[in-house]
Amino acid sequence: MRVVIAVVLFGSWLLAQEAVKTSSVSPAPEKQAARELTIPAGTKIPISLRNAISTKGNHQGDPVYAQTTFPVVVDDRIVVPAGTYVQGKISSIKPAGRIKGRAEVLMHFTTLIYPSGYSVMLPGSLENAPAVDKAKVKDREGTIQADSNAGKTAETIAQPAATGALIGAVSHGGEGALIGAGVGGAVGTAIAALSHGNEVKLTPGTTFEVVLQREVSIDASRIKAPREPE
């Protein structure tokens, strides 16, 4: 009888211990859920470039450094403070060609680095680059393409042709004008062939908008807003 009572008491003690463990552990998932925030896909993050990039001087794989210029807010909470560092790389780059072939550069942003040192993966691409001179974002991937140089090239060819025609007409009449125009056009074509089109040049301070390609989960307890300058 004493053995039975002892077994019952021991079993009751074990059940009590399990109840204590369960009650102490159960709030943890709720706390964890409260700390996790999600930045939705499609969120736009304004950034400012920190290093210079040029289609003439940079190469595929070169790093890209930037910083956010304005806080990003989701559900009344700051999820990306202003001043957060953004890191990326050049995915592809093409300098301007002679006569034809526009310069292009494609950058992808890969990492957010918060002021606290906390970092998360950032699947982002450029959506808008209004501050870039003589260039535009040409596709959804975020490729920046230089403006066409066709008008300038035509002018380069036409001007020597017109000058040659005038000189030929003065010296040899109509036939001379034709010869002069041909010679001048050839000179203009040669000059154009030796010149390149517009390059894409991005200086420090150039502003962009980065759009998230998929949602990003962050730990809210590890975000630390930067101090305001005194």
pLDDT the model gives residue 198? 86
Return the higher-pLDDT residue of 130 and 41: 41
Which pLDDT band holds residue 42 (cuts at 50, 70, 90)?
very high
pLDDT the model gives residue 224? 73
DSSP3 helix / strand / coil % (the chain, rounded to 5): 35, 35, 30
Helices (H) and strands (E) in the chain, counts: 3, 14
Is the pLDDT reported for residue 134 higher than 90?
no
In Å, the largest CA–CA distance within the chain is: 136
The mean pLDDT value for 198-219 works out to 92
**Class of the domain covering 40-147+201-222:** mainly beta
Express each pLDDT in 151-172 by its tens digit.
444 444 445 444 544 444 455 5
Rounded Cα distance, 40 and 84, in Å: 18
pLDDT the model gives residue 118? 95
Is the pLDDT reported for residue 110 higher than 90?
yes
DSSP string, 199-227: PPEE-TT-EEEEEESS-EEEEGGG--PPP
Is the pLDDT reported for residue 35 higher than 70?
yes
Express each pLDDT in 53-65 by its tens digit.
999 999 999 999 9
Percentage of residues of the chain with pLDDT beyond 90: 42
Task: Count the Cβ atoms, other than its own, within 10 Å of residue 122.
Answer: 22
| Tokens read off for 9 | 């008491």
pLDDT the model gives residue 140? 83
Task: Count the Cβ atoms, other than its own, within 10 Å of residue 27.
Answer: 9
pLDDT the model gives residue 202? 92
Is the pLDDT reported for residue 50 higher than 70?
yes
User: Three-state DSSP class for 154?
Assistant: helix
The mean pLDDT value for 110-123 works out to 94
- Mean pLDDT score of the chain, rounded to an integer? 75
Rounded Cα distance, 47 and 84, in Å: 9
H/E stretch holding 6: helix 2-25
Rounded Cα distance, 187 and 85, in Å: 51
The pTM of this model reads 0.63
| Tokens 């596709």, residue located | 139
Is the pLDDT reported for residue 183 higher than 50?
no
The mean pLDDT value for 215-223 works out to 91
* Sign of the CA dihedral with 54 first, then 55, 59, and 65 last: positive
Q: Is 144 exposed, middle or buried (0-12, 13-18, 19+ CB in 10 A)?
A: buried
Nearest to 38 by CA among 225, 214, 218, 221: 218
H/E stretch holding 105: strand 104-113
pLDDT the model gives residue 139? 83
Return the higher-pLDDT residue of 125 and 162: 125
Is the pLDDT reported for residue 72 higher than 80?
yes
Q: Where are the domains of the chain?
A: 1-34, 40-147+201-222, 150-196
Is the pLDDT reported for residue 112 higher than 70?
yes
| Tokens read off for 145 | 């393409």
